[in-house]
Amino acid sequence: MAFDLSDSEAAELQTFLAENYNSPSAEWLAGLERQFEALQALLQQGHAPTHSGPNNTDDEPDTSPSAARAAALPVVTLIYCTRFIGTDEPLTCYAFGTVSQSTFEDIFWQKIDEAKNESPETGIEVYVAEHGYFNLHFGGYKFRILYCTREGLVRRYPNVLDAPVEFLNRWEADEAISQLIWTQALWYATDRLHVDLGSDVTRVIFYYLRAYAIERGAYYNLFISRHDSRVLHTGHILTLMSTAVMRLTNKDRPYTLQNVVAAVFNNILTGKTFVNSCHTSREPLPERVGQAMTPFSQSILMRVRAQPMATKLDFPSFIKINVEYNGASSIAHGKLLAMIEEQIRKLRKSKSYAQHKTLFS
C-alpha cells in the first residue's frame, strides 16, 4: 500500500515525528537490526543442528556420544521483543539459556572483553550490569538484556520463537514465558500489518500513534505483562492497528494511512473493538474523526499537543524525563544514568507521586 499523502506531506510528517518524538527512519531501524544480529553472534551459545543424521526423527531421541556431548554444552538464545522503538530508547531483549545466571554473566563479560580486544572500535560500553540484567551501548545503538534460565524450553527449542504456543501455555504463569508468548504475538501482528499495509506505512502509522500515547502520558516501553491495562504499550498499539485494518476490511474501505489512523481513534472512542484488558481508564482527548484528516500532522496529534498544561498534568500515567549528557566519557555517562535511576527510585516511593510512574531516556 502506498502513502495517501503527497510526497511533501509524508516527508513533513516523518520529519515532525523524528524531531519531536525521536521516531526512527527505515534506515535507522535496518541498522538496529544489523547491530542486533551482531550482538546475537556475540552472545548466543550452542546453536547447532538439532539432528545428526537422516534417520533421526522427533520421536527418536539421539543417544549417540556426539549428541550427549552437545546436550552438555550451554545453550543461550537472544531475541528482541519488537524493534518499534524510538531512537532514544534501548532495544528490549531476552536471553533464554540452560546455564545459571552467574554463568551467563561470566559468558557475557568474556564475550564483551573478546570483542573489545579484537576490535577496539566496536563501540561496546556496558553501563548497567546486575542480577542478569544489562544495559549497554553497541555500535551506536542501545540494548537492554534480561537473562532467564529456562533449560527445558531451550533444549527442546533452541530458537525459542519457534516454540508452539500450546507448549508455552504450560508455563504461562511464568513471567518470562508469558513475555515470550507476548513477543510471538507482537511478531505475528507486525508481519500481518506489513502484508496489509507495507512496512513503510506500518512504521509511520505506529510512530504517529506512539507520539499520541506519549502526549497522553500513557506510552510504556519496558518489560511488561501483556495484560497490563494502565498503559499503551507497543503491543497495544499494534493491536489497535490490526483491529482498525479488520474494520476497514469489513466496510470495504481502502487501507490508506489516514483511514487506518482514523479507524484507530474511532475504535478507542467507541470502545467496542479495543480489548478490554488494554482499555485505558480515561476518555481519549481527540474528537471523533472522519476520513479527512489533512494536513495529517496538524490534526489529532496537534490538538493533543495544544492542550493546556494544567489539563496534561492531571492526565498522565507516565512522566518522561529527558537527560542530555555532553561529555565524551562513556564511564561518566554511565555513572550519571545510574545516579538518575537511583533518584527516580526515590521519586517513585514518594507518596506525593504515588499516582505516577516515571521514565527517562
Angstrom distance (rounded) from CA 104 to CA 63: 27
- Structure-block grid coordinates of residue 147: 537473562
Range in 221-230, 289-298, 328-337 the model is least confident about = 289-298
Average pLDDT over residues 135-158: 93
* Domain spanning 26-53+61-163: CATH 3.30.460: yes
Give the mean model confidence (pLDDT) for residues 253-275. 71
352 versus 63: the higher-pLDDT residue is 63
Assign 11 a pLDDT band (cuts: 50, 70, 90): confident
Q: Which residue has the higher pLDDT, 43 or 276?
A: 43
Cβ atoms of residues 114 and 127 within 8 Å: no
Mean pLDDT over 230-235 rounds to 76
pLDDT given for residue 299 in this prediction: 66
Where does the chain have alpha helices with state H? Answer: 7-21, 26-43, 65-72, 101-118, 151-156, 165-168, 175-197, 199-216, 234-250, 257-270, 300-305, 309-313, 330-349
With both helix axes pointing from N to C terminus, report the angle between 199-216 and 257-270 in degrees, rounded to the nearest 10. 40
C-alpha–C-alpha distance, residues 287 and 289, integer Å: 6
pLDDT score, position 271? 57
97 Cβ partners below 8 Å, 6+ apart?
45, 74, 75, 76, 77, 104, 147, 148, 149, 150, 151, 154
Distance CA 247, CA 260 (A): 9
Please state the rounded mean pLDDT for residues 216-240: 72
315-327 per-position pLDDT tens digit? 455 566 777 777 7
Q: Cell 546453536 maps to which residue?
A: 47
Q: What percent of the chain has pLDDT over 90?
A: 35
Q: Which residues 6+ apart lie within 8 Å of 115 measured at CB?
A: 42, 122, 124
Q: Look at residue 296 and tell me whether its pLDDT is greater than 80.
A: no
Reference 50, options 64, 70, 65; nearest CA is 70
Q: Give the integer Cα–Cα distance in Å for 266 and 296.
A: 16
pLDDT over 60 (residue 261)? yes
Amino acid found at 142: K
pLDDT category of residue 274 using cuts at 50, 70 and 90: very low
Structure confidence at residue 250 (pLDDT): 80
For 16-72, what is each residue's pLDDT tens digit? 899 999 999 999 999 999 999 999 999 999 864 333 233 333 445 455 655 555 566
Burial class of residue 137, CB neighbours in 10 A (0-12, 13-18, 19+): middle
CB 79 within 8 A of CB 160: yes
**Nearest CA-CA partner of 179 in 301, 116, 92:** 92
Model confidence at 252: pLDDT above 50: yes
How much is the average pLDDT of 233-250? 88
What are the grid coordinates assigned to 184, written together?
510471538
Question: Taking each helix axis from N to C terminus, what angle separates 199-216 and 7-21, rounded to the nearest 10 degrees?
Answer: 40
Q: What mean pLDDT do residues 264-277 have?
A: 57
Task: Read off the pLDDT of residues 161-173 as tens digits, 9 standing for 90 and up.
Answer: 999 989 998 876 7
- Banded pLDDT at 348 (limits 50, 70, 90): low
Name the residue ranges covered by the structural domains of the chain: 26-53+61-163, 317-361
DSSP state of 47: -
List pLDDT tens digits, range 196-215.
999 999 999 999 999 988 88
Residue 273 has pLDDT above 60, yes or no: no
Q: Give per-residue pLDDT as tens, 63-100.
A: 565 555 556 688 999 999 888 999 989 999 999 999 99
The H or E element spanning position 226 is: none
Q: What is the pTM of this model?
A: 0.76
